[in-house]
Structure 1
């Protein structure tokens, strides 16, 4: 029974976890906008979600632990460097317009994920209570 509940909630749980980690990366980019030689980082969300969901079934091999060196998220998702649209003299690659847009988009999608999980939980409660 618990396994079926896990399966029912897994997609949104995994997506929210990745969105949270991406939000931290984007916030770090914004915080380091004036740091010389800082390279803006991000993840490929769709590939990361696909990879995370591919290793959730029993018998799948999970990602190997990755050192906390900033090259990957704790779940093994590779952290990529953002393509430079316009170089800066100090070597910083943070474009504040891009970062703010990505930050707001990710936050909105995170909230949508929360709404979806709330909807799933309400459906479960309605089923448990017999649709009263």
Structure 2
């Protein structure tokens, strides 16, 4: 049962990432006409590092080896894209990029929900005795 709960935890982290990304994209779109607004982005690397640190245990035999530590937060890293300015007023929101990111995020979210539904259906089948 431990494997099942790790899978659900990983799917939950993915859903949290997709949720946060959706909020950031929506905020960027809402500020498309705001003077000096710089678009924000969500870093997937922090979510991946959280997942890796929770599921991999390693014994370091040399100080140069990568540290695998458990992370206590479930958050994602949001950063500002400072080097981009698409408008003369200093605004850094590219509407085409934001809409494409929103579509990709929606597909990712739906795939995670489908996988989670599959896990719950499998659990229901087991609880019902295979019927």
Mapped partners of 1:115, 1:61: distance in 2: 27
TM-score with structure 2 length normalisation? 0.78
Report what 1:60 is aligned to.
70
Flag structure 2 segments of 5+ consecutive residues without an equivalent: 58-68
Runs of 4+ in 1 over 3 A off after TM superposition: 54-59
Q: CA RMSD in A?
A: 2.2
Mapped partners of 1:52, 1:15: distance in 2: 11
Mapped partners of 2:78, 2:8: distance in 1: 26
Report what 1:49 is aligned to.
47
The answer on 1:39 being equivalent to 2:43 is no
Q: How does 1:15-34 map to 2 (within 5 A)?
A: 15-34=14-33
The count of aligned residue pairs is 118
Q: Of the two, which has the highest radius of gyration?
A: 2
SS in 2 for 1:119: helix
The answer on 1:120 being equivalent to 2:119 is yes
